[in-house]
Structure 1
Amino acid sequence: MTKKKKQHPRDEVTLRRQVAVLPFRVPALGSIEILLITSRDTGRFIIPKGWRKKGQKQWDSAAREALEEAGVVGEVSSKAAGSYTYWKRGDGEFELLQVLVYPLEVKTQRASWPEKGERKMAWLTAEDAALLVDEPALASLIRTFAPKV
């Protein structure tokens, strides 16, 4: 008699994916800082994220989102630091999405960028950033990422 693998509800559905960066910097006399931005619709703290552009590598699409949403430029890793899921709101419906997160060491911030003035942003300690984001898996990723840098 063969055993059937017990399936979990999420095993049956492939989630659509977004890409994001975890923007960070290491000040000369301090520990790592994480950049959070606010979402345009709810004002909650998030990291820059969006859809992968066709024909573009995932990490490059994530870096493009960082430039568009926060005006930051730097060195993005081609290796994801992890992922998390969240419920995206849209047209009265919600969709569960998976987000792949790529570290981005921020080198500069441009004077202007497409979404300047539409979001607030803050450089925070990893612990403070983890406390401010709503998604538990993202908070965990931020906490575990900090010591690796």
Structure 2
Amino acid sequence: MKPLQQVAALPVRRAEDGSLEVLLVTSRETRRWIAPKGWPMKGRKPHRAAAIEAREEAGVTGQISKTPAGHYTYDKRLPDGSAVPCRVAVYVLTVTGELPSWREQGQRDVQWVSSEAAAVLVREPELAALIRDLAHPADVADVAAPRG
């Protein structure tokens, strides 16, 4: 079966010590740690759809990359218990704002963690690898501006 396509935002910011932090959310059903993601949206470019998912699921806004930082695959569980393969394009979102309330607040847990912790917490190995790659100092100069 050909994988279904999804988009995700990987919300990031710089910690005071200069390290990269990642915002993870829990899925609604299994409560596993994930990046905010969803289906492509008609009339929206994929990166814009990813930014909307971040706002709705995690309550964050910011500067979204126009090209994916990478992709990962996972099996999406359906209500009948079956699963379908999905390929997710991941767009880095440099967070500049956190909303006081958002659409899925209370439906998910949201947590800022170090990039190292994020790579351990997510279950998808390809997403963990992408997070580790972003955290490499040579690769993150423009990923997230320092907080101040």
TM-score by length of 2: 0.90
CA distance in 1, matches of 2:49, 2:135: 23
Output the amino acid matched with 1:33.
E
Q: Distance in 2 between matches of 1:98 and 1:15?
A: 6
User: Do residues 47 (structure 1) and 35 (structure 2) align?
Assistant: yes
Q: Give the equivalent residue in structure 2 for 1:96.
A: 85
Secondary structure, aligned partner of 1:53: coil
Q: Which runs of 4+ in 1 moved over 6 A?
A: none
CA positional deviation for 1:100: 0.2
2:2 is the counterpart of 1:28: no
Once the two structures are superposed, the pairs formed by residues 42-121 of structure 1 within 5 Å of their partners are 42-91=30-79, 92-121=81-110
Q: Is the 8 A contact 2:8 2:89 kept in 1?
A: yes
> Secondary structure in 2 aligned to 1:18?
strand
Is residue 2:143 matched to residue 1:134? no
Note the alpha carbon deviations across 1:16-61, whole angstroms, 9 max, x for none.
Answer: 1000011100123330100111011011000000011101000000
Secondary structure of the structure 1 residue equivalent to 2:30:
coil
Helix, strand or coil at the partner of 1:130: helix
Paired residues in the alignment total: 137
Q: Which has the higher contact order (CA 8 A, sep 6+)?
A: 2
CA–CA separation in structure 1 for the residues paired with 2:100 and 2:112: 17
Structure 1 residues without counterparts, runs of 5 or longer: 1-12
Q: Name the residue aligned to 1:143.
A: 132
The one-letter code sitting in structure 2 at the alignment partner of 1:137 is E
Percent identity over the alignment is 50
- Give the match's secondary structure for 1:96: strand
Q: Secondary structure at the match of 1:101?
A: strand
